[in-house]
Chains A and B, each alone.
Chain A
Amino acid sequence: MIKEILWLKTENTYPYKNLAMEEYLTMNVKDGQCIMYLWQNRHTVVIGKNQNCWKECKVTKLEEDGGYLVRRLSGGGAVYHDLGNLNFTFCVKEEDYNLDKQLSVILEAAKLLGIKAEKTGRNDITVQGRKFSGNAFLKIGKQCYHHGTIMLNVNGSDMAKYLNVDMKKLQSNGVDSVASRVASLIEFRPDISVAMMEASLIKSFSQVYGLTAKKISEEKLPAEEISKLQEKFQSWDWKYGKKIPFNHEICERFPWGDIQIQLKVNGGIIEDINFFSDAMEQDVITLIKGALSGREYNAPALIDAVVNAKLEAASENASLISNIKRDLVSCIAHNI
């Protein structure tokens, strides 16, 4: 039975800190409490706990553009967040968890803004059949959260730029995203803003639970504990090092020969590599194969390995070596 409802909106937009706050609030919510945490991430792709980040997101492109890759604690698919998106998290104990009630806070908030939203399928909230909110759930011991996005005015071309990974021959065991027809609420209410939705959510939160929502002051939360959780979310191990083995095959043709590279990646590291080529310079190929093996699976690390590979012993043709290096660098940049 919920006896106390609390809310918090953070001004922080650095995603790893937001996820740390979310985990802290979830792990510390008490019996009879429901916390509604509102937050926004800037320039971020968030993937599900068990997803392959390279399969779901153009990681290199995202990071080159100054964006962030985030792996959340809950399951499900990849989403793009920018400041046109508002996230909510309901933190409760298992006994107080009530998905229908929590969802009705979102539906009622939309209704207060004149938007007729409905719950569809298991995890989506839609308007006119188009999804503006995806939801996911977590249970750690007795601590639970239900969180989701609310797309108010998300940059659709950025979303497409980072999320659509289709050219890759990537085979993996992780959880695949399901593409949806999405919409931002601005299409249904042109003057909508984050502040309006926020106010509306706080109002509907109180209405649905029949209690007055009290504000949590962010300054009173233990900064040190939250910053420890933040370190986990921003660590290489958590983001990329997940032990979901996968294979990536790259085939290209160059003036000096065709290549086929098969990478076996586990925990973010190239565990095994096959490198086939019909090029005359087989010794060069063998040396490059050796240089790539054991490296981190990311474009800068692999490009560095190719550029610094000592190939002179395998061929005296300096201009050919430099051509092979140049082509492989662009091949890596293009494929990874």
Chain B
Amino acid sequence: MAKLFSKSHEWVEMTDETTAVIGLTDYAQKELGGLVFVNLPEEGDDITAGETFADVESVKAVSDVISPVTGVVSEVNEELLDAPESINEAPYEAWFVKVSDITEKEELLTEEEYDAFVAAL
């Protein structure tokens, strides 16, 4: 499945109708600068579209990461805890969480739409 993008700079890859993988976009990691720490939710946590589900600390600031979907965290990428810099190195591989039982989604953009959105910022 192609990746979709939120206006708050998360990417979502729907693995089927109700499950997805979520991460931060390349634009987001560039804006944040070098990441030094990631706080992730726990497996089994409910997350809500449009609300914070994680936060990251970069050399510039602490910032929230907003969930593009409503669902249940089915897996957490614990490798990020040891290597937050992998988000800077490969943002589209460094996924944060896998989500199941998805019931709602934020307004999501295609890659083309997201590129245009970012270009206008």
User: Which A residues are within 8 Å of any B CB, using their own CB?
Assistant: 48-50, 73-75, 122-123, 136-141, 173-175
Contact = CB atoms under 8 A, between A and B. Distances in A.
Contacts of A49: 37, 57, 62
B64 A140 contact: yes
B7 to A, nearest CB: 12
B49 interface: no
A250 B22 CA distance: 40
Interface of B: 36-37, 39, 52, 57-64, 81-82
Interface SS of chain B: helix, strand, loop or mixed? strand
A22 to B, nearest CB: 14
Contacts of A74: 61-62
6 contacts: A48-B57, A50-B36, A122-B60, A136-B61, A141-B64, A174-B37
Contact of B61 (A137, A141, A173): A137
Contact of A139 (B36, B37, B64, B81): B64
Given A75-B37, A138-B63, 10 more contacts: A50-B36, A50-B57, A74-B61, A74-B62, A75-B61, A122-B59, A136-B61, A139-B63, A173-B82, A175-B57
B59 A73 contact: no
Counting chain A CB atoms within 10 Å of each CB, the highest count among B52, B62, B64 belongs to B62
Contacts of B39: 50
Contacts of A137: 60-62
A174 B81 CA distance: 9
Contacts of B63: 138-139
Nearest to B38: A50
Contacts of B57: 48-50, 75, 175
A225 to B, nearest CB: 20
A174 B59 CA distance: 13
Contact of B62 (A123, A138, A174): A138
Contacts of B58: 75
A17 B13 CA distance: 43
Contacts of B81: 173
A73 B62 contact: yes
Nearest to A242: B39
B37 A175 contact: yes
Contacts of B52: 140-141
A123 B62 CA distance: 13
A131 to B, nearest CB: 16
Nearest to A74: B62
Contacts of A122: 59-60
B66 to A, nearest CB: 8
A175 B38 CA distance: 10
Contact of A138 (B36, B59, B61, B82): B61
A248 B118 CA distance: 45
Contacts of A48: 57
A94 to B, nearest CB: 10
A75 B36 contact: yes
A173 B36 CA distance: 10
A139 B59 contact: no
A139 B82 contact: no
Nearest to A174: B37
A174 B57 CA distance: 11
Counting chain B CB atoms within 10 Å of each CB, the highest count among A74, A75, A122, A173 belongs to A75
A75 B63 CA distance: 9
